[in-house]
Amino acid sequence: MYNPDDTICAISTPAGVGALAIVRLSGRNSKNISEKSFKGGKLEDKKATFGNIIDSNGIIIDDVVMIWYKAPGSYTAEDMVEVICHGGYTVSQQILELFCNAGARLAQPGEFTLRAFLNGKLDLTEAEAVNSIINAKTLMSKQLATFNLEGKLKNKLDMINSKLFELISVLEAEIDFSDEEIDKLNYNEIQDNLSDIQARIEELLSTYDIGRIAEGRAQIAIVGAPNVGKSSLFNALLRSERAIVTGIPGTTRDYLTEYVNIGGYPVIMTDTAGIRQSEQEIEIIGINKSRELISNVDLCIFILDASRPVNDEDREIAEYLNKYAHILVVNKADLMDKRGYKLNDNFSDRNPLYISALRRTGLDILVKEIQKRLTIDLIEPVEGALLSQRQYDCVQRTQKSVGNAITALAQNESEEVIISILREALDHVGELSGRITSEEILNNIFSKFCIGK
Amino acid sequence: MDFDLIIVGGGHAGCEAALVGSRLGFNTALITLDKNRISQMSCNPAVGGLAKGQLVREIDALGGEIGYCTDMTGIQFRVLNKSKGAAVRSHRAQVDRKRFRQFMTETVNLQPKLTIIEGEVCKLLIQDKICYGVGLVSRETINAKKVILTSGTFLNGLIHIGEKKIPSGRMGEKPSTALSSFLADMGFEIGRLKTGTPPRLNGNTIDFSMFVVQEGDQPPPYFSNRSNRGNFNQIPCYLLYTNPSTHEIILNNLQKSALYSGRINGIGPRYCPSIEDKVVRFKDKKRHQLFLEPEGSDTSEYYINGFSSSLPEDIQLKAIREVEGFTNVEFTQPGYAIEYDYLPPHQLKPTLETKRIVGLYLAGQVNGTSGYEEAAAQGLMAGINAVQKLRGEKPVVFDRSQAYIGVLIDDLVTKSTDEPYRMFTSRAEYRLYLREDNAEDRLSQIGHQIGLVTDETWDNFQKEKKLRQGLLREFQKMKIKIPGIEKSITVSETARRPDIDFYEIYKNLPSEVAVDFPVFEKVAIEIKYEGYLKRQEQQLQRFKKMESMHIPENFDYTEIRGLKKEAIEKLNRFKPNSLGQASRISGVSPGDIAVLMVHLRSR
């Protein structure tokens, strides 16, 4: 595990050619280690000092600007040094090696932020916000993360925390001071308090979708029978709306997956035709995979072929899709019979969108519809939103506990039982802000950082 | 004279400790200032109450004495919080103050291997930080392998009644003055606390018809399974209230109160404020509840709970006479406040041995607690741990998930206290499990192993437990029909439903189930909480894991990078013995704990 006694170092800028690069040190020997290889002015707290980095033979490696941050006035609350050197592959590597030879060790992913957390500079939601800012794909997601770094999510959690705490305190008093005259809450007041807490929790849960969309984690899939034009639509949408982002998270290797720009946000689009189903056995795997995908995405685009009547395969897919959000699209509208396209009872949606992927007609309307269905129109910068699955899970567990407390109250359960459920809720909130923590949670969170933050 | 064990002080802590030592075969001396005041109840004539009842049940399950003595001398028995769940219900008994003292005095006097010595201890014999005996004011010295100090409120005790100050350990008893400065010289941190007690009233001058009568429960609920006293004629208590005229007199004379004139330096308990405090701090309240408790069965004296005061006697009397029913009341003793020295308990290990001096244990009010039950629990544990040490065996320390006793001692040594500490059920995270009904299930095995629980008591408990386990299994399948419930459901299901009373279930059990209601009730309670306890399991595992992460005794926190300054200071002060304990110290943040965890792992 991480030893907090070590002085750690890392290159904090991305690998590759650029004008400048930054090498960072944190830990009690930061200043010592960096000074050993530095020839220039005297380092002063939070002042930029110009000079040279020299190797053990006194050979100049680079002209640099060095900044020393005296503990605890740094990002990690430890002594830190930042070396701003020339970019490219070699210089920063050389400096890093010098520092390692002088006693520093390479930082683990996220270790700078881990230290900031361990030293009490950030709470967990704030530490996660740092990660979100760095990985922000849109202005909106950067904005949401910035709010969290400012403590907006923490404030909301603190409020839920203190409301739970207050209610528990009052109920506790009724147990421990029942033989004295104290102001008691009546049934309705307890219920009101619980509903208020639950409303706050639900508000918080509702912010998760905003965060997900803003972070480019909303997902759509193109579904339909063979040869209806799934890949054509996939390519048509990409040609006009390809999102300028790279790298897609998750295990998407089995599908053809790209980011598509919907209303200004990157949305993950998957072509189920990309799921291989050539041989018999694999076909079953393909179908299972499609089903799994459909149950995980936010929206499906279900394509029918206007050049032929609806067949059994279409109907089967339609039936399966009934329980999932989907848009019904009739492709090859240019080849449609003059009498129109007939849908039967298997289709809950009687008003399909008519498009032609090849001729690229009707695509604008489709994109607008996707935008509407993903509630992208409603996105606004919420102060204090849930930005990770971990945060969402914690709040969802809190919601469940509070729900259980409401049920227990309705069933006339006695105070000590209701309190034990509410204390559970308090634990869940605490886990989120890091008040209640465990090594596993920490490891999980910090393993998602890349080196040098 | 040489002993294995010396107990200094004959209060509730001292008696338990002395009985543990002698019953387990060690030559024990109990040194008291006054042989006739052993186990004197200095405040109200009652034992038990919310959370305290649990403590008494636990002491009894471990083979202690206070529960049995209460049962034998009680004059009224009740279960509190009956409208709430079983986990937070507690026994409470009014006792005959004089008979309680006589009964306990006789118990210690008749106890083989226990010598009662009258005298005042003024110093401890210490060499190389090891305590080996005590020195008396009479210049006599007594050697012992272990010393347990249970000096209560006697260290520099000072009674305040209005402007009068009387150096005293209890009303009418001289204080112990030399010992406190001796302890300070030894390097112990000494603090000062305050507590108060209300006046005692002459019952012949009271008009009881004005009050609400509160009777005992039928049959009387006893603390101990050893008690076999049966039913008897219980004596009632009374509920009454102060009024605005009472309050006015108190407010007009505040400057005469020792508390409000600044003559008292010690910190008093927030949960047990004086009547002056109540009237000043809750100005809007038109009345305050009072509770009139009988002092015994052959006395007309009464104790007026809720009217603790340090006003001059005449003002106390004038104010209380405004209460209807008390128009002509006379005092047998005025209320008073008492200040005393205590040793902030972060100076103790969880065994109640001091960190500073080997072989010296502290128990009871000297550790900053209040209450007979809290004192008795500590006396018992100090006694047990002194004996374990003499035997060369492992200490007995309960964690917070095992017993209220564990919660009590952990709170003391981990959080210390700057006001008199009292037990509450809300202090216990695992209170759904720490119940009165299962005290034996939780603790008797340990009591039996140590040798305090007799074979006879143990066998009886085993028989009952076997019966309960059988019922627990049967009740999962056995269906019964309860009037008002449409279909018949299993007994287990009925027990889990909040809308069905346990007695209602008991009455509807098939006749072939031969079980007494108290035993049935225990089974029903266990079923009722089973589900909730399962839900706490994960939390419990996390707790146990943290408790098991041991920190070496002389661990130096100063050199650990990443710990905040406040945390270093607190950790060095408290010297926790596990990561779990460290996490409960105020001023130590989760971040600090994470740093500590990392550091301990990398060692």
- How many CA atoms does the CB half-sphere of B137 hold within 13 Å? 13
Interface of B with A (CB under 8 A): 49-51, 80-81, 83-85, 87-88, 271, 288-289, 424-426, 429, 431-432, 498-499, 532, 535-536, 539, 542, 560-562, 564, 589-595, 597-599, 601-602
Give the 3-state secondary structure of residue A52.
strand
**What share of chain B in percent tops pLDDT 70?**
100
In chain A, domain spans = 8-123, 137-209+384-434, 219-373
Among residues B305, B458, B449, the alpha carbon closest in space to that of B388 is found at B449
CB of A411 within 8 Å of any CB in chain B?
Answer: yes
Superfamily (CATH H level) for A137-209+384-434:
tRNA modification GTPase MnmE domain 2 (1.20.120.430)
Asked whether the beta carbons of residue B84 and residue A436 sit closer than 8 angstroms, the reply is no
For B560, nearest residue in chain A (alpha carbons): A5
Query: B158-217, pLDDT tens digit by residue?
Result: 999 998 999 998 888 889 989 999 999 999 999 999 999 999 999 999 999 999 999 999
Q: How far is B50 from chain A (nearest CA, A)?
A: 6
Asked whether the beta carbons of residue A178 and residue B432 sit closer than 8 angstroms, the reply is no
Whole-angstrom distance, CA of residue A372 vs CA of residue B206: 80
**3-state SS, one letter per residue, for A146-172:** HHHHCCHHHHHHHHHHHHHHHHHHHHH
pLDDT of residue A251: 37
Q: How far is B359 from chain A (nearest CA, A)?
A: 36
Q: How far is A130 from chain B (nearest CA, A)?
A: 18
pLDDT of residue B240: 95
What are the pLDDT tens digits along chain A (453 aa)? 456 678 999 998 887 788 999 999 999 899 999 999 999 989 999 999 999 999 988 899 999 999 999 988 999 989 999 999 998 888 998 999 999 999 998 888 788 888 888 777 887 788 888 888 877 778 888 888 888 888 899 899 989 988 888 888 888 888 888 877 777 778 899 999 999 999 999 999 999 988 888 888 899 999 988 888 888 898 888 876 655 544 444 333 456 888 888 888 889 998 886 554 445 555 566 667 778 888 889 999 999 998 888 888 888 888 888 889 999 999 988 887 766 677 766 676 668 899 999 888 999 999 999 999 998 888 888 898 898 888 898 899 999 999 999 999 999 898 999 999 998 898 888 877 765 444 444 444 444 444 333
CB of A440 within 8 Å of any CB in chain B?
Answer: no
Name the phi and psi angles at B162, rounded to 5. 60, -125
Q: How far is A176 from chain B (nearest CA, A)?
A: 6
Query: B410-440, pLDDT tens digit by residue?
Result: 999 998 888 899 998 988 889 999 999 999 9
Structure-token pair, residue A263: 């209303």
Give the 3-state secondary structure of residue B26.
coil
Give the 3-state secondary structure of residue A31.
helix
The pLDDT of B520-529, averaged and rounded, is 95
Among residues B405, B352, B388, the alpha carbon closest in space to that of B61 is found at B405
The pLDDT of B86-110, averaged and rounded, is 97
Q: How far is B491 from chain A (nearest CA, A)?
A: 18
DSSP classification of residue B433 = T
Which of residues B311 and A378 earns the better pLDDT score? B311
Range with the poorest average pLDDT among A260-269, B368-377, B403-412, B518-527: A260-269
CB of A436 within 8 Å of any CB in chain B?
Answer: yes
For A71, nearest residue in chain B (alpha carbons): B562
Q: How far is B32 from chain A (nearest CA, A)?
A: 34
Asked whether the beta carbons of residue A120 and residue B564 sit closer than 8 angstroms, the reply is yes
The pLDDT of B537-559, averaged and rounded, is 87
Superfamily (CATH H level) for A219-373:
P-loop containing nucleotide triphosphate hydrolases (3.40.50.300)
DSSP classification of residue B369 = B
Among residues A232, A423, A259, the alpha carbon closest in space to that of A335 is found at A232
User: Which among B288, B289, B598 is the nearest to A1, CB-wise?
Assistant: B598
Whole-angstrom distance, CA of residue B335 vs CA of residue B343: 26
pLDDT of residue A285: 61
Whole-angstrom distance, CA of residue A239 vs CA of residue A205: 35
| Residue A59, C-beta contacts closer than 8 angstroms, at least 6 positions apart | none
Q: What angle do CA A55, A58, A62 make, to 5 degrees?
A: 55
Query: A248-288, pLDDT tens digit by residue?
Result: 443 334 568 888 888 888 899 988 865 544 455 555 666 67
Amino acid residing at B248 = E
Whole-angstrom distance, CA of residue A268 vs CA of residue A243: 9
| Residue B534, C-beta contacts closer than 8 angstroms, at least 6 positions apart | none
**Bridge partners for B47 per DSSP:** B93
Q: Are residues A66 and A128 in contact, defined by beta-carbon separation less than 8 angstroms?
A: no
pLDDT of residue A443: 46
User: Which among A178, A411, A412 is the nearest to B81, CB-wise?
Assistant: A178
| Residue B163, C-beta contacts closer than 8 angstroms, at least 6 positions apart | B256, B258, B261, B263, B312
Q: Are residues A106 and A3 in contact, defined by beta-carbon separation less than 8 angstroms?
A: no
Cα distances from B253 to residues A16, B241, B246, B260, B526, in angstroms, run 83, 20, 11, 10, 53
DSSP classification of residue B126 = E
Q: Dump the DSSP string for B215-281.
A: PPPSS---S-TT-------PPPEEEEE--HHHHHHHHHTGGGSTTTTT---SBPPTTS--HHHHHHH
Asked whether the beta carbons of residue A1 and residue B80 sit closer than 8 angstroms, the reply is no
Contacts of A115 in chain B (CB under 8 A): 562
Contacts of B592 in chain A (CB under 8 A): 120
Contacts of B564 in chain A (CB under 8 A): 119-120
Q: How far is A157 from chain B (nearest CA, A)?
A: 17
Q: How far is A445 from chain B (nearest CA, A)?
A: 14
Whole-angstrom distance, CA of residue B117 vs CA of residue B27: 13
Element (H, E) at A205: helix A187-214
The pLDDT of B75-88, averaged and rounded, is 94
Structure-token pair, residue A406: 């409401």
DSSP classification of residue A54 = E
Pairing relationship of beta strands A353-354 and A326-331 according to DSSP bridges: parallel
User: Which among A177, A179, A437 is the nearest to B590, CB-wise?
Assistant: A437
| ipTM of the complex as predicted | 0.86
Cα distances from B235 to residues A107, B101, B215, B216, B230, in angstroms, run 74, 19, 7, 7, 15
For A2, nearest residue in chain B (alpha carbons): B598
DSSP classification of residue A384 = S
**What share of chain A in percent tops pLDDT 70?**
85
Whole-angstrom distance, CA of residue B473 vs CA of residue B468: 9
For B567, nearest residue in chain A (alpha carbons): A119
Asked whether the beta carbons of residue A420 and residue B536 sit closer than 8 angstroms, the reply is yes
For B596, nearest residue in chain A (alpha carbons): A4
Please tell me the pTM assigned to this model: 0.82
List for chain B the helix, strand, coil content (%; round to 5): 40, 20, 40
CATH number of the A8-123 domain: 3.30.1360.120
pLDDT of residue A2: 58
Q: How confident is the model at residue B243 (pLDDT cuts 50, 70, 90)?
A: very high
Element (H, E) at A45: none
Instruction: Check whether the bond before B312 is cis (ω within 30° of 0).
Output: no
Among residues A207, A169, A199, A157, the alpha carbon closest in space to that of A428 is found at A157
For A123, nearest residue in chain B (alpha carbons): B591
In this structure, is the dihedral angle defined by the CA atoms of residues A442, A445, A447 and A453, taken in order, positive or negative? negative
The pLDDT of B229-243, averaged and rounded, is 95
Q: What angle do CA B434, B440, B442 make, to 5 degrees?
A: 50
Contacts of A176 in chain B (CB under 8 A): 50-51, 424-426
Q: What angle do CA B504, B505, B507 make, to 5 degrees?
A: 65
pLDDT of residue A140: 85
pLDDT of residue A436: 45
